[in-house]
Structure 1
Amino acid sequence: MNRLLIIKTLGLVLLCEAGLLLPSFLLALTRQESDARALLICFILTACAGGLMILARPRNTQVGYREGFVIAALAWFFCALFGALPYMMTGTLNSLADAFFEAMSGFTTTGASVIKDVEALSHGLLLWRSTTHWLGGMGIIVLTLALIPSLKIAGMQLFKAEVPGPTKSKMVPRIVNTSRELYKVYLIITAAEIVLLKLAGMDFFDAVIHTFGTVATGGFSSKNLSVAAYDSLAIELIITFFMIICGMNFALHFYLLKGKWRPLWEDNETRLYMGIIAISTLLISWELSNSLHMSWGQALRQSLFQVSSIITTTGFASADFDRWPAFSKFILLALMFIGGCAGSTGGGIKNARLLILVKAVSRQVTRLLHPQAVVPVRLGTGVVSREVVESVQNFFFLYILILATATIYISSLGIDMLSSLSAVAATLGNVGPGFGLVGPMTNYAGLPAAAKWVLSLCMLTGRLEIYTVLVFFSIKTWRD
């Protein structure tokens, strides 16, 4: 284990985090807010910690598999730990459990919150809260690789440990260039949404906050009622559109910017993803229209927004869906598990894995009927390797096991089963709001500290897609 290289790389990650603290400090200073001093101290502490860590001088700068997984897990932990400082030093949150929960929720783009009145926060702190989303959306390490190519390390190991999806592929030959291209796409989408939300009537600051929450599929808002506070069809349609495209594989957006439409039309995962959104929206609209006597226009408006918000794991709310009929709530709960596409900023199991699981079951049925048949699992025109199929099957088993174990533990703390199940599903899938005590118009503040620590671990496990966290805790990883 190359421990000095791990320390040095983590130092570079913390320096990137410190750099992204500066805009929040400058905004608070410009607006003469009392939080400016605390944010400056947080910047200094984070920068000093990172500066000390980069003094490490590893003899070997080659990142192996073990180092890659350890760096990925520790980078997210340390970013959340230092990201919690602004909440504590400004006096917004007084307990480490709450501050760490809020920071981890931001970086993992979960959007679950323990802050009861976000409208009482300073502009500087609100910007930092949403910046954690934006940074975590595309990935902390991906940003570090994009900004600091002088690392001269095998960045693909870090890329594999952090980027979501059953398979990891480079869009261009060098992984540093891939990271930069991804962030170019990310920046273009971010700028486009800010402009459109401003044109739709949001002030610039709110447009930035909601854009960061959308492109990262995180869901932090500057309003207590989330997007429902605006009651604007134009704003909801803009956010819905960007939620949907940010729940898609960003490699497809890269090809679109190059004028290549064919990969999008031929992508089976995108077809499944869009089909699920369309069918879920129609089913919920039908029930809302019949059970709650909404007009079809209103039912479509609410269902499309919430379906898009939940399947992309963004977590914005335009209505209190906890009051919807049972069938609609069941669909939303199912969407929490499915999540977005591989290579997106969304969480959940991912549509690509769902496709592979279905095709693997179909192959098994065919082989039972025709034992001599050779039936490969295909995604589009490509054949999925046996290793990937096994990895997906194991991932699904682990996902359900962790879900069940964490739900049992949370319920043992005195939380009702619906709230426990939806809280774990919402944090493990990086969705944010759930049902019951953690519904869209409430938050996680009322949960015990023990529950918040477990749910914070669920957020990290879900964002790093289980295997990275399991490798980190494995004894074999730390044996030299």
Structure 2
Amino acid sequence: MNYSMIRFILFRLLRIMGTLFTLPLIVALVYKEYDSAISFLILAAVCFVVGTIFTIKKPANRVIYAKEGFAITAVAWIAVSMMGAVPFVITGTIPNYIDALFETVSGFTTTGGSILTTVDNIEKSVQFWRTFTHWIGGMGVLVFLLAVVPMADGYSMHLMRAESPGPVVGKIVPKVKDTAKILYIIYFGITVTEIVCLIISGMPIYDAITISFSTVGTGGFAVRDTGMMGYSLVSQAIIILFMALCGINFTVYYFLLNRKPKEAFAIDEVKFYLGTMLISAGIIAFNVYRSGCVTDPRLAFHHSLFSVASIMTTTGFCTLDFDTWPMLSKLMLVVLSLIGACAGSTGGGFKFSRALIVIRNARNELNFIVHPKAVKRVYMDGHSVEGTTVKSVTAYLGIYVITFIASTLIVALDNFDFQTTVTSVVATLNNIGPGLGMVGPTGNYSQFSYLSKLVLMFDMLAGRLELLPIFVILKPKTWRR
């Protein structure tokens, strides 16, 4: 284990955190929140100075292999979350550190589950930081590091693979640094576009910026107690569009920007993702309209599409309380939350690519029973999927199920109702935010015990990092030299 390189990268991240704290500092000054401004100034200075001092001397051995890549990723996310929780405590927004850490982990992992019972009275600068954590975590803190800090390209790929969502992660251009830059340019461009569209729709500038952070990062933190319900149908429609766009593999946008539409639209996962979203919205709209929950068929489809897009992309926004909808609609939303968005997007969940690989591999196994001599391969996008990828997806599914069962049993110690207990784990492990019951669209996680909150924080981190990095650091052998 290359400990010197781990320390070096962690202090690099601390320096970047210092830079990021200057943004809510500026917001605090704009809105004359001087106490919060002092807090953010001190944090920014401490992080930047300490990070700079401990990164002046570069490690002699800068080699990073897969083991270091996974370990650095997991430890970095934990460290960034612990530091990111400090503003909530020192500003008095969330005095209890465990609750503040829950809010921050939920922010960085783009989960969006909150322990806050109200957000209307939170200072603008703190609210900005809260939603900005979504934007930072959406593309990944280490991807940002790779984009701005020179590193050995052959080794930095291990960091990107450990942090990026999906069964297979590759470079869209020869160099990892250039890949990270391209991803962040696309990410920034989508964010700015949504901000402009929301402002044009009549949304206040502050709301447009913070809601765009939550939308593009597929996080779901709102800045009003009414959530998305208080905005116009036009604003909601814009949010639907950008939620759907950010649930798509960002490689698609790279192909489109380089005028390669055939490659962009040849991705199987995207076709199934968009098709599932529209069909599910249609079924739920019919069910909701027929049950009388929404009496206007156009509004029924609008709210159903919003909910489906929000749940599938694991954003977690809502325009209506879907916990009051018929059982079929609620159950469909839970199933969609398990699948999630596309690989290589900012969304969470199991991912459509994994689901397709599991389904196609199962089909091949059934065909093998009927035709034992037939040689069947799993195909995605017209290409054969390597056996190691199929194996890793199967292993991921096994770890996912074990994690879900173990977490549910521990959270059950709080003795809440069945749907609250189960969907709280589903919502955190898949980085969705809202579940059903006490953690529904109008609920929160404030009543859970500290033990349950720690378990749910573990699930949020494990879900965002695709399980393996978190479990790798729990193995003693990982830390042997």
Normalising by structure 2, what TM-score?
0.98
CA contact under 8 A between 1:10 and 1:53: conserved in structure 2? no
Q: Does 1:315 align with 2:295?
A: no
Question: CA shift at 1:97, angstroms?
Answer: 1.0
**What corresponds to 2:23 in structure 1?**
23
Question: CA shift at 1:80, angstroms?
Answer: 0.3
What are the equivalent positions in structure 2 for 1:183-222 lying under 5 Å apart? 183-222=184-223
In structure 2, how many angstroms separate the alpha carbons of the residues matched to 1:110 and 1:343? Answer: 17
CA contact under 8 A between 1:340 and 1:347: conserved in structure 2? yes
In structure 2, how many angstroms separate the alpha carbons of the residues matched to 1:152 and 1:282? Answer: 46
What are the equivalent positions in structure 2 for 1:294-333 lying under 5 Å apart? 294-333=295-334
**What corresponds to 1:265 in structure 2?**
265
Residue by residue over 1:348-386, the C-alpha shift from the partner in whole angstroms, topping out at 9 and shown as x without a partner, is 000000000000000001111110111011002110111
Residue by residue over 1:83-111, the C-alpha shift from the partner in whole angstroms, topping out at 9 and shown as x without a partner, is 00000000111111101001101110001
Other structure's SS at 2:463 match: helix
Other structure's SS at 1:360 match: helix
Other structure's SS at 1:226 match: coil
- Range moving further from structure 2, 239-248 or 272-281: 272-281
Residue by residue over 1:378-407, the C-alpha shift from the partner in whole angstroms, topping out at 9 and shown as x without a partner, is 002110111111111111121111111111
CA contact under 8 A between 1:5 and 1:56: conserved in structure 2? no
Amino acid paired to 2:378: V
In structure 2, how many angstroms separate the alpha carbons of the residues matched to 1:373 and 1:331? Answer: 36
In structure 1, how many angstroms separate the alpha carbons of the residues matched to 2:143 and 2:90? Answer: 29
CA contact under 8 A between 1:2 and 1:58: conserved in structure 2? no
What are the equivalent positions in structure 2 for 1:457-472 lying under 5 Å apart? 457-472=458-473
CA contact under 8 A between 2:73 and 2:159: conserved in structure 1? yes
Using the aligned pairs only, state the percent identity: 38
Q: Does 1:66 align with 2:64?
A: no
**What corresponds to 1:14 in structure 2?**
14
Question: CA shift at 1:311, angstroms?
Answer: 0.3
**What corresponds to 2:226 in structure 1?**
225
Question: CA shift at 1:31, angstroms?
Answer: 1.8
> CA distance change for structure 1 residues 278 and 18 in 2, over 3 Å: closer, same or farther?
same
Question: CA shift at 1:51, angstroms?
Answer: 2.8
Other structure's SS at 1:119 match: coil
RMSD after superposition: 1.2
CA contact under 8 A between 1:141 and 1:162: conserved in structure 2? yes
**What corresponds to 2:428 in structure 1?**
427
Other structure's SS at 1:149 match: coil
**What corresponds to 2:475 in structure 1?**
474
CA contact under 8 A between 1:171 and 1:178: conserved in structure 2? yes
Other structure's SS at 1:388 match: helix
Amino acid paired to 2:25: F
Residue by residue over 1:102-158, the C-alpha shift from the partner in whole angstroms, topping out at 9 and shown as x without a partner, is 110111000111122211111111111111110100000000010112566721010
Other structure's SS at 2:32 match: coil
In structure 1, how many angstroms separate the alpha carbons of the residues matched to 2:31 and 2:214? Answer: 23
Normalising by structure 1, what TM-score?
0.98
Question: CA shift at 1:411, angstroms?
Answer: 1.0
In structure 1, how many angstroms separate the alpha carbons of the residues matched to 2:452 and 2:98? Answer: 9
In structure 2, how many angstroms separate the alpha carbons of the residues matched to 1:235 and 1:37? Answer: 34
In structure 2, how many angstroms separate the alpha carbons of the residues matched to 1:96 and 1:31? Answer: 26
What count of residue pairs does the alignment treat as equivalent?
Answer: 479
In structure 1, how many angstroms separate the alpha carbons of the residues matched to 2:447 and 2:180? Answer: 39
What are the equivalent positions in structure 2 for 1:214-253 lying under 5 Å apart? 214-230=215-231, 232-253=232-253
Residue by residue over 1:162-209, the C-alpha shift from the partner in whole angstroms, topping out at 9 and shown as x without a partner, is 001000110000000000000010011011000000000011110000
In structure 1, how many angstroms separate the alpha carbons of the residues matched to 2:186 and 2:253? Answer: 7
- Range moving further from structure 2, 12-21 or 191-200: 12-21
What are the equivalent positions in structure 2 for 1:372-451 lying under 5 Å apart? 372-451=373-452
- Range moving further from structure 2, 27-36 or 158-167: 27-36
Residue by residue over 1:203-226, the C-alpha shift from the partner in whole angstroms, topping out at 9 and shown as x without a partner, is 111000010001110011111121
- Range moving further from structure 2, 206-215 or 57-66: 57-66
Amino acid paired to 2:226: L
CA contact under 8 A between 1:312 and 1:347: conserved in structure 2? yes
CA contact under 8 A between 2:183 and 2:250: conserved in structure 1? yes
In structure 2, how many angstroms separate the alpha carbons of the residues matched to 1:92 and 1:140? Answer: 24
Amino acid paired to 1:7: R
**What corresponds to 2:125 in structure 1?**
124
CA contact under 8 A between 2:315 and 2:433: conserved in structure 1? yes
- Range moving further from structure 2, 206-215 or 34-43: 34-43
In structure 1, how many angstroms separate the alpha carbons of the residues matched to 2:320 and 2:245? Answer: 22
In structure 2, how many angstroms separate the alpha carbons of the residues matched to 1:150 and 1:159? Answer: 12
Which consecutive residues of structure 1, in runs of 5 or more, have no partner in the other structure? none
Amino acid paired to 2:270: T
